[in-house]
Amino acid sequence: MKLRARQREEPELNIINFVDVMLMLLVFFMMTTHFIQNTSLTVDLPTASVAPAPTELKGVEVTIDAQGHYYVNQQAVAGTSPDAVRAALLAAAGARRDVPIILRADARSSHQSVVTVMNVAGELGFTQLQILTTQPPAEN
């Protein structure tokens, strides 16, 4: 009986699945970085000459940037209409109306955008409104 030696098969490395996974990760990271870029807002607050009363800032924070875009608790509001602001405030506060509305409006934002937030908050039954300002620099 004549026995032949088996031929060894060369191992094959299939990288197609690896490339598919890497492309999916790339798309995932590209999409999530788009949502992360709006987390820190730079707002120049208006100045006031009276020192603010010390309070703990626990409430619904509404930020208005210089272009008039609204952010509720650092989340962008879809649109600038009063209905969009109303929906965002309801989502942030839920059924509670005893939490204060903390308004951070840029000094260059329009007066109308500030009044819109105040009007919507009043219609929804919020009774506490805090408007954040900064103190002017001390004169020497």
Which CATH number do you get for residue 113? 3.30.420.270
Q: What is the mean pLDDT of residues 42-69?
A: 75
3-state secondary structure of 64: strand
β-bridge pairing 70-72 and 60-64: antiparallel
The tokens describing 121, both together, are 């908050």
User: How many whole angstroms separate alpha carbon 95 and alpha carbon 27?
Assistant: 38
Query: pLDDT grade, residue 16 (50/70/90)?
Result: confident
The answer to whether position 41 is within a domain reads: no
Query: pLDDT grade, residue 118 (50/70/90)?
Result: very high
The tokens describing 136, both together, are 């002017």
Q: Domain range holding 87?
A: 60-131
User: How many whole angstroms separate alpha carbon 122 and alpha carbon 117?
Assistant: 9
User: How many whole angstroms separate alpha carbon 49 and alpha carbon 16?
Assistant: 66
Total domain count, the chain: 1
Which residues are bridge partners to 99 per DSSP? none
The answer to whether position 118 is within a domain reads: yes
Q: How many CB atoms lie within 10 A of CB 50?
A: 7
Query: pLDDT grade, residue 41 (50/70/90)?
Result: low
Contacts of 108 (CB under 8 A, 6+ apart): 44, 66
The answer to whether position 39 is within a domain reads: no
Q: Is the pTM of this model over 0.85?
A: no
Q: What is the mean pLDDT of residues 84-108?
A: 89
